[in-house]
Protein backbone atom coordinates (compact mmCIF):
# COMPACT_ATOMS: atom_id res chain seq x y z
CA UNK A 1 0.00 0.00 0.00
CA UNK A 2 1.59 3.35 -0.97
CA UNK A 3 1.74 6.32 1.38
CA UNK A 4 -1.39 8.11 0.09
CA UNK A 5 -3.49 4.97 0.28
CA UNK A 6 -2.47 4.13 3.82
CA UNK A 7 -5.32 3.32 6.13
CA UNK A 8 -5.58 5.43 9.28
CA UNK A 9 -4.47 3.96 12.58
CA UNK A 10 -7.94 4.51 14.10
CA UNK A 11 -9.44 2.26 11.41
CA UNK A 12 -6.72 -0.36 12.00
CA UNK A 13 -7.47 -0.31 15.73
CA UNK A 14 -11.11 -1.14 15.04
CA UNK A 15 -10.31 -4.18 12.87
CA UNK A 16 -9.50 -6.59 15.77
CA UNK A 17 -12.91 -5.81 17.25
CA UNK A 18 -14.69 -6.66 13.96
CA UNK A 19 -12.56 -9.78 13.73
CA UNK A 20 -13.51 -10.87 17.25
CA UNK A 21 -17.25 -10.30 16.77
CA UNK A 22 -17.23 -12.09 13.41
CA UNK A 23 -15.55 -15.07 15.10
CA UNK A 24 -18.31 -15.12 17.73
CA UNK A 25 -20.99 -14.96 15.02
CA UNK A 26 -19.38 -17.87 13.19
CA UNK A 27 -19.37 -19.93 16.39
CA UNK A 28 -23.11 -19.28 16.66
CA UNK A 29 -23.56 -20.48 13.08
CA UNK A 30 -24.47 -17.03 11.71
CA UNK A 31 -23.19 -16.67 8.17
CA UNK A 32 -24.60 -13.42 6.96
CA UNK A 33 -24.77 -10.02 8.65
CA UNK A 34 -25.76 -6.50 7.65
CA UNK A 35 -23.77 -3.42 8.61
CA UNK A 36 -26.76 -2.39 10.81
CA UNK A 37 -26.54 -5.65 12.75
CA UNK A 38 -22.76 -5.33 13.02
CA UNK A 39 -23.33 -1.81 14.28
CA UNK A 40 -25.54 -3.07 17.13
CA UNK A 41 -22.86 -5.58 18.10
CA UNK A 42 -19.79 -3.38 17.89
CA UNK A 43 -21.23 0.00 18.87
CA UNK A 44 -19.79 1.61 15.69
CA UNK A 45 -22.29 3.21 13.29
CA UNK A 46 -23.29 1.27 10.18
CA UNK A 47 -21.81 3.96 7.93
CA UNK A 48 -18.57 3.86 9.93
CA UNK A 49 -18.39 0.12 9.41
CA UNK A 50 -19.04 0.41 5.67
CA UNK A 51 -16.41 3.14 5.42
CA UNK A 52 -13.88 1.14 7.42
CA UNK A 53 -14.32 -1.96 5.30
CA UNK A 54 -14.33 0.04 2.06
CA UNK A 55 -10.73 0.97 2.84
CA UNK A 56 -9.84 -2.57 1.92
CA UNK A 57 -12.02 -2.91 -1.14
CA UNK A 58 -15.45 -3.34 0.51
CA UNK A 59 -16.64 -6.85 1.11
CA UNK A 60 -20.38 -6.41 1.38
CA UNK A 61 -23.10 -6.51 -1.23
CA UNK A 62 -26.05 -4.14 -1.26
CA UNK A 63 -29.14 -5.97 -0.03
CA UNK A 64 -27.14 -8.96 1.17
CA UNK A 65 -24.75 -7.58 3.78
CA UNK A 66 -21.56 -9.42 4.59
CA UNK A 67 -20.67 -13.08 4.41
CA UNK A 68 -19.34 -13.58 7.95
CA UNK A 69 -16.75 -16.25 7.20
CA UNK A 70 -15.40 -14.53 4.13
CA UNK A 71 -15.17 -11.16 5.88
CA UNK A 72 -13.45 -12.71 8.92
CA UNK A 73 -10.93 -14.49 6.68
CA UNK A 74 -10.21 -11.29 4.78
CA UNK A 75 -9.80 -9.28 7.97
CA UNK A 76 -7.56 -12.03 9.35
CA UNK A 77 -5.35 -11.69 6.28
CA UNK A 78 -5.33 -7.91 6.55
CA UNK A 79 -4.35 -8.19 10.23
CA UNK A 80 -1.62 -10.68 9.37
CA UNK A 81 -3.31 -13.43 11.37
CA UNK A 82 -2.98 -15.95 8.54
CA UNK A 83 0.56 -16.80 9.66
CA UNK A 84 2.37 -17.66 12.87
CA UNK A 85 4.73 -15.42 14.77
CA UNK A 86 7.72 -16.62 16.75
CA UNK A 87 7.63 -14.85 20.06
CA UNK A 88 9.68 -14.61 23.27
CA UNK A 89 9.05 -13.02 26.66
CA UNK A 90 11.64 -11.00 28.61
CA UNK A 91 10.77 -10.92 32.32
CA UNK A 92 9.32 -14.14 33.72
CA UNK A 93 7.65 -12.65 36.83
CA UNK A 94 3.94 -12.35 37.55
CA UNK A 95 2.82 -10.82 34.29
CA UNK A 96 5.29 -12.68 32.05
CA UNK A 97 4.10 -15.98 33.49
CA UNK A 98 0.45 -14.99 33.08
CA UNK A 99 1.04 -14.16 29.40
CA UNK A 100 2.92 -17.45 28.92
CA UNK A 101 0.14 -19.38 30.60
CA UNK A 102 -2.59 -18.03 28.33
CA UNK A 103 -3.13 -20.45 25.46
CA UNK A 104 -5.22 -17.99 23.47
CA UNK A 105 -2.18 -16.15 22.09
CA UNK A 106 -0.78 -19.38 20.71
CA UNK A 107 -4.16 -20.33 19.25
CA UNK A 108 -4.15 -16.98 17.44
CA UNK A 109 -0.73 -17.77 15.94
CA UNK A 110 1.66 -16.20 18.46
CA UNK A 111 3.88 -19.07 19.53
CA UNK A 112 6.01 -18.34 22.61
CA UNK A 113 9.31 -20.21 22.16
CA UNK A 114 11.08 -19.16 25.37
CA UNK A 115 11.08 -16.79 28.32
CA UNK A 116 14.13 -14.98 29.68
CA UNK A 117 14.90 -13.67 33.15
CA UNK A 118 17.90 -12.56 35.16
CA UNK A 119 16.76 -14.16 38.43
CA UNK A 120 18.72 -17.44 38.90
CA UNK A 121 15.82 -18.89 40.92
CA UNK A 122 13.57 -18.77 37.86
CA UNK A 123 16.03 -20.04 35.28
CA UNK A 124 15.31 -23.62 34.22
CA UNK A 125 11.65 -23.53 35.35
CA UNK A 126 8.90 -24.12 32.81
CA UNK A 127 5.57 -22.41 32.32
CA UNK A 128 3.52 -25.01 30.42
CA UNK A 129 6.24 -26.21 28.02
CA UNK A 130 7.97 -22.82 27.82
CA UNK A 131 11.38 -22.76 29.47
CA UNK A 132 12.71 -19.78 31.40
CA UNK A 133 16.27 -19.18 30.23
CA UNK A 134 19.04 -16.87 31.36
CA UNK A 135 18.67 -13.41 29.83
CA UNK A 136 22.33 -13.60 28.81
CA UNK A 137 21.30 -16.19 26.22
CA UNK A 138 18.50 -14.05 24.81
CA UNK A 139 20.38 -12.26 22.04
CA UNK A 140 21.74 -15.48 20.52
CA UNK A 141 18.40 -17.21 20.88
CA UNK A 142 16.64 -14.42 18.99
CA UNK A 143 19.19 -14.53 16.16
CA UNK A 144 19.24 -18.31 15.89
CA UNK A 145 15.46 -18.67 15.93
CA UNK A 146 14.51 -15.61 13.86
CA UNK A 147 12.17 -14.33 16.51
CA UNK A 148 9.48 -11.96 15.18
CA UNK A 149 8.02 -10.48 18.37
CA UNK A 150 9.53 -9.71 21.76
CA UNK A 151 7.28 -9.20 24.77
CA UNK A 152 8.58 -7.00 27.60
CA UNK A 153 7.33 -7.82 31.08
CA UNK A 154 10.35 -6.65 33.07
CA UNK A 155 10.27 -3.74 35.53
CA UNK A 156 10.36 -0.39 33.76
CA UNK A 157 14.00 0.20 34.77
CA UNK A 158 15.13 -2.74 32.58
CA UNK A 159 12.71 -2.22 29.72
CA UNK A 160 14.92 -0.02 27.51
CA UNK A 161 17.89 -2.42 27.89
CA UNK A 162 15.66 -5.29 26.83
CA UNK A 163 14.29 -3.29 23.88
CA UNK A 164 17.89 -2.51 22.81
CA UNK A 165 18.76 -6.22 22.82
CA UNK A 166 15.60 -6.97 20.84
CA UNK A 167 16.49 -4.35 18.23
CA UNK A 168 20.14 -5.38 17.84
CA UNK A 169 19.20 -8.97 17.34
CA UNK A 170 16.63 -8.26 14.63
CA UNK A 171 13.24 -8.32 16.33
CA UNK A 172 10.75 -6.20 14.41
CA UNK A 173 7.78 -6.14 16.77
CA UNK A 174 7.75 -5.30 20.48
CA UNK A 175 4.76 -5.79 22.76
CA UNK A 176 5.63 -3.69 25.81
CA UNK A 177 3.84 -4.01 29.14
CA UNK A 178 6.36 -1.96 31.16
CA UNK A 179 5.17 1.57 31.98
CA UNK A 180 8.03 3.17 30.06
CA UNK A 181 8.20 5.18 26.85
CA UNK A 182 10.78 3.17 24.96
CA UNK A 183 12.94 4.54 22.17
CA UNK A 184 13.06 2.27 19.16
CA UNK A 185 14.38 2.55 15.57
CA UNK A 186 12.05 3.28 12.69
CA UNK A 187 12.30 -0.35 11.57
CA UNK A 188 10.72 -1.57 14.80
CA UNK A 189 7.02 -1.47 15.60
CA UNK A 190 6.15 -1.09 19.25
CA UNK A 191 2.72 -1.62 20.75
CA UNK A 192 2.39 -0.52 24.36
CA UNK A 193 -0.09 -2.05 26.76
CA UNK A 194 -0.18 0.29 29.71
CA UNK A 195 -2.64 -1.42 32.03
CA UNK A 196 -2.48 1.37 34.59
CA UNK A 197 -3.41 4.01 32.05
CA UNK A 198 -6.47 2.02 31.09
CA UNK A 199 -7.43 1.66 34.76
CA UNK A 200 -6.96 5.39 35.36
CA UNK A 201 -9.20 6.10 32.36
CA UNK A 202 -11.84 3.87 33.93
CA UNK A 203 -11.44 5.85 37.14
CA UNK A 204 -12.02 9.08 35.18
CA UNK A 205 -15.21 7.71 33.64
CA UNK A 206 -16.50 6.61 37.04
CA UNK A 207 -15.77 10.03 38.47
CA UNK A 208 -17.32 11.92 35.54
CA UNK A 209 -20.11 9.52 34.69
CA UNK A 210 -22.59 11.98 33.19
CA UNK A 211 -19.94 14.10 31.60
CA UNK A 212 -18.51 12.22 28.63
CA UNK A 213 -19.44 10.86 25.23
CA UNK A 214 -18.58 7.25 24.50
CA UNK A 215 -17.18 6.42 21.05
N1 LIG B 1 1.54 -7.77 37.17
C2 LIG B 1 0.66 -6.97 36.58
O3 LIG B 1 -0.56 -7.21 36.55
C4 LIG B 1 1.12 -5.68 35.93
C5 LIG B 1 0.16 -4.72 35.68
C6 LIG B 1 0.53 -3.56 35.05
C7 LIG B 1 1.84 -3.38 34.61
N8 LIG B 1 2.76 -4.32 34.88
C9 LIG B 1 4.12 -4.08 34.45
O10 LIG B 1 4.67 -5.28 33.90
C11 LIG B 1 6.02 -5.41 34.29
C12 LIG B 1 6.21 -6.70 35.05
O13 LIG B 1 5.41 -6.71 36.23
P14 LIG B 1 5.38 -7.98 37.20
O15 LIG B 1 4.31 -7.75 38.17
O16 LIG B 1 5.35 -9.21 36.36
O17 LIG B 1 6.82 -7.84 37.89
P18 LIG B 1 7.70 -8.99 38.55
O19 LIG B 1 8.65 -8.30 39.45
O20 LIG B 1 6.84 -10.09 39.07
O21 LIG B 1 8.52 -9.59 37.29
C22 LIG B 1 9.52 -8.91 36.61
C23 LIG B 1 10.57 -9.94 36.21
O24 LIG B 1 11.52 -9.30 35.36
C25 LIG B 1 12.79 -9.83 35.70
N26 LIG B 1 13.82 -8.92 35.20
C27 LIG B 1 14.26 -7.76 35.73
N28 LIG B 1 15.20 -7.20 34.94
C29 LIG B 1 15.36 -8.03 33.89
C30 LIG B 1 16.19 -8.00 32.75
N31 LIG B 1 17.03 -6.98 32.52
N32 LIG B 1 16.10 -9.01 31.87
C33 LIG B 1 15.24 -10.04 32.08
N34 LIG B 1 14.45 -10.14 33.17
C35 LIG B 1 14.49 -9.13 34.06
C36 LIG B 1 12.76 -10.00 37.20
O37 LIG B 1 13.75 -10.90 37.65
C38 LIG B 1 11.34 -10.51 37.40
O39 LIG B 1 11.29 -11.92 37.38
C40 LIG B 1 6.36 -4.19 35.12
O41 LIG B 1 6.94 -3.22 34.27
C42 LIG B 1 5.02 -3.73 35.63
O43 LIG B 1 4.98 -2.33 35.88
C44 LIG B 1 2.44 -5.47 35.54
φ, ψ at 179 (rounded to 5°): -75, 65
Closest CA to 76 of 48, 109, 52: 109
Q: Which atom of ligand 1 approaches the CA of 178 most closely?
A: 41
ipTM score assigned to the predicted complex: 0.97
| Domains of the chain in sequence order | 3-77 (1.10.10.10), 85-197 (3.40.50.720)
Q: pLDDT at position 60, please?
A: 72
* Atom 31 of ligand 1: nearest residue by CA position: 158
What's the CA-to-centroid distance between 115 and ligand 1, angstroms?
A: 12
Q: pLDDT at position 168, please?
A: 96
Residue 97: Cβ-neighbour burial (10 angstroms; 0-12, 13-18, 19+): buried
Q: What single string gives the DSSP state of each residue in 162-184?
A: HHHHHHHTT--EEEE-SSS----
Q: Which atom of ligand 1 approaches the CA of 159 most closely?
A: 31
Please list the ranges in the chain whose pLDDT falls under 70.
1-5, 58, 210-215
Closest CA to 117 of 101, 102, 97, 98: 97
Give ligand 1 pocket residues (Cβ under 6 A): 90-96, 116-119, 122, 135, 153-156, 158, 161-162, 177-179, 195-196
What's the whole-model pTM score? Answer: 0.90
Q: Which atom of ligand 1 approaches the CA of 94 most closely?
A: 16
Q: pLDDT at position 72, please?
A: 93
Cβ distance 149 to 174 under 8 Å?
yes
φ, ψ at 201 (rounded to 5°): -65, -40
Coil, strand or helix: which one is 122? Answer: coil
* Atom 43 of ligand 1: nearest residue by CA position: 178
Distance in angstroms (rounded) separating the CA atoms of residues 46 and 200: 30
Which are the contacts of 192, defined by CB distance < 8 A and separation ≥ 6? 176, 177, 182
φ, ψ at 63 (rounded to 5°): 85, -15
Amino acid sequence: MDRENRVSITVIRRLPKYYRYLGELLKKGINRISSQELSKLTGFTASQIRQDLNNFGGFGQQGYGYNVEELRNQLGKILGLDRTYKTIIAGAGNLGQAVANYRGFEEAGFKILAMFDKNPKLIGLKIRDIEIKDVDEMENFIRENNIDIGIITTPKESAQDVADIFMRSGIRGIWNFAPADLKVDDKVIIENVHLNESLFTLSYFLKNESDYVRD
